[in-house]
Protein backbone atom coordinates (compact mmCIF):
# COMPACT_ATOMS: atom_id res chain seq x y z
CA UNK A 1 0.00 0.00 0.00
CA UNK A 2 1.10 3.56 -0.73
CA UNK A 3 0.72 6.80 1.15
CA UNK A 4 1.62 10.36 0.15
CA UNK A 5 2.52 12.67 3.01
CA UNK A 6 2.98 16.42 2.56
CA UNK A 7 5.03 18.58 4.87
CA UNK A 8 6.44 22.09 5.03
CA UNK A 9 3.28 24.16 5.23
CA UNK A 10 2.81 26.94 7.72
CA UNK A 11 2.45 30.67 8.20
CA UNK A 12 4.64 33.00 6.17
CA UNK A 13 4.65 36.73 5.47
CA UNK A 14 3.99 38.12 2.00
CA UNK A 15 7.18 38.02 -0.04
CA UNK A 16 8.50 35.10 1.96
CA UNK A 17 9.31 31.56 0.92
CA UNK A 18 8.35 28.03 1.83
CA UNK A 19 9.33 24.65 0.49
CA UNK A 20 6.77 21.87 0.50
CA UNK A 21 7.74 18.22 0.40
CA UNK A 22 5.71 15.17 -0.48
CA UNK A 23 7.11 11.72 0.14
CA UNK A 24 5.61 8.49 -1.11
CA UNK A 25 5.94 5.53 1.22
CA UNK A 26 4.88 1.91 1.19
CA UNK A 27 5.19 -0.61 -1.59
CA UNK A 28 6.29 1.86 -4.25
CA UNK A 29 7.62 0.26 -7.40
CA UNK A 30 7.74 3.27 -9.68
CA UNK A 31 6.35 6.80 -9.90
CA UNK A 32 5.36 8.53 -13.12
CA UNK A 33 3.96 12.06 -13.08
CA UNK A 34 3.74 14.02 -9.84
CA UNK A 35 2.10 17.32 -9.10
CA UNK A 36 0.85 19.88 -6.65
CA UNK A 37 -2.69 21.21 -6.41
CA UNK A 38 -4.22 23.73 -4.06
CA UNK A 39 -7.62 24.70 -2.78
CA UNK A 40 -8.37 28.07 -1.25
CA UNK A 41 -11.44 28.69 0.92
CA UNK A 42 -14.54 28.95 -1.22
CA UNK A 43 -12.72 27.96 -4.40
CA UNK A 44 -12.29 24.79 -6.40
CA UNK A 45 -9.10 22.77 -6.31
CA UNK A 46 -6.68 23.95 -8.99
CA UNK A 47 -3.50 22.69 -10.57
CA UNK A 48 -0.33 24.41 -9.36
CA UNK A 49 2.50 22.50 -11.01
CA UNK A 50 3.35 19.11 -12.47
CA UNK A 51 6.55 17.24 -13.20
CA UNK A 52 7.03 14.14 -15.33
CA UNK A 53 9.33 11.24 -14.59
CA UNK A 54 11.77 12.81 -17.04
CA UNK A 55 11.72 16.16 -15.29
CA UNK A 56 9.50 18.17 -17.64
CA UNK A 57 7.48 20.77 -15.74
CA UNK A 58 4.32 22.80 -16.16
CA UNK A 59 2.95 25.60 -14.01
CA UNK A 60 -0.24 27.49 -13.54
CA UNK A 61 0.05 31.04 -14.88
CA UNK A 62 -0.52 32.42 -11.40
CA UNK A 63 2.69 30.86 -10.05
CA UNK A 64 5.04 30.98 -13.03
CA UNK A 65 8.35 32.58 -12.12
CA UNK A 66 7.68 32.22 -8.41
CA UNK A 67 7.25 28.48 -7.78
CA UNK A 68 9.54 25.62 -8.78
CA UNK A 69 8.61 21.96 -8.74
CA UNK A 70 11.32 19.31 -8.51
CA UNK A 71 11.69 15.67 -7.57
CA UNK A 72 14.15 13.25 -6.03
CA UNK A 73 13.40 9.88 -7.55
CA UNK A 74 15.76 8.04 -5.20
CA UNK A 75 13.67 9.25 -2.27
CA UNK A 76 10.27 9.09 -3.98
CA UNK A 77 9.78 12.73 -3.11
CA UNK A 78 8.46 15.79 -4.92
CA UNK A 79 9.09 19.35 -3.79
CA UNK A 80 7.48 22.71 -4.36
CA UNK A 81 9.70 25.71 -3.74
CA UNK A 82 7.48 28.74 -3.28
CA UNK A 83 9.05 32.18 -3.45
CA UNK A 84 7.61 35.69 -3.44
CA UNK A 85 4.49 34.39 -1.76
CA UNK A 86 1.30 36.40 -1.96
CA UNK A 87 -1.83 36.38 0.15
CA UNK A 88 -3.60 34.84 -2.84
CA UNK A 89 -1.39 31.75 -2.45
CA UNK A 90 -3.09 30.89 0.84
CA UNK A 91 -4.60 27.45 0.42
CA UNK A 92 -4.37 23.81 1.34
CA UNK A 93 -1.76 22.29 -0.93
CA UNK A 94 -2.21 18.70 -2.05
CA UNK A 95 0.33 16.31 -3.51
CA UNK A 96 -0.68 14.03 -6.35
CA UNK A 97 1.26 11.18 -7.92
CA UNK A 98 0.74 8.42 -10.44
CA UNK A 99 2.28 5.36 -8.79
CA UNK A 100 2.88 1.73 -9.65
CA UNK A 101 2.65 -0.17 -6.36
CA UNK A 102 3.03 -3.88 -5.71
CA UNK A 103 1.40 -5.97 -8.41
CA UNK A 104 -1.08 -3.21 -9.31
CA UNK A 105 -0.53 -0.99 -12.33
CA UNK A 106 -0.23 2.80 -12.13
CA UNK A 107 -2.88 4.57 -10.06
CA UNK A 108 -3.43 8.12 -8.88
CA UNK A 109 -2.79 8.89 -5.23
CA UNK A 110 -3.49 12.01 -3.19
CA UNK A 111 -1.97 13.33 -0.01
CA UNK A 112 -4.10 14.72 2.79
CA UNK A 113 -2.86 18.27 2.23
CA UNK A 114 -0.77 20.83 4.06
CA UNK A 115 -1.97 24.35 4.87
CA UNK A 116 -0.05 27.37 3.62
CA UNK A 117 -1.10 30.72 5.04
CA UNK A 118 0.42 33.91 3.65
CA UNK A 119 -0.40 36.83 5.89
CA UNK A 120 1.09 39.74 7.78
Split at pLDDT 50, 70, 90, the class of 1 is: confident
Of 34-43, 99-108, 109-118, the poorest mean pLDDT is in 99-108
Higher pLDDT, 99 or 1: 99
**φ and ψ at residue 14, rounded to 5 degrees:** -55, 135
Other beta carbons within 10 angstroms of residue 46's beta carbon come to 12
Closest CA to 18 of 82, 90, 93: 82
**CA-wise closest residue to 7 among 75, 105, 79:** 79
Interval 17-37 mean pLDDT: 95
- pLDDT of 103 > 80? The answer is no
Mean pLDDT over each residue of the chain, to the nearest integer: 96
Amino acid sequence: QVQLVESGGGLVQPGGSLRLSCAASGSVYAINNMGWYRQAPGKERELVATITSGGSTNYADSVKGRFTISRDNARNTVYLQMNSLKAEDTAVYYCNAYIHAGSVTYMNYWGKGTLVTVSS
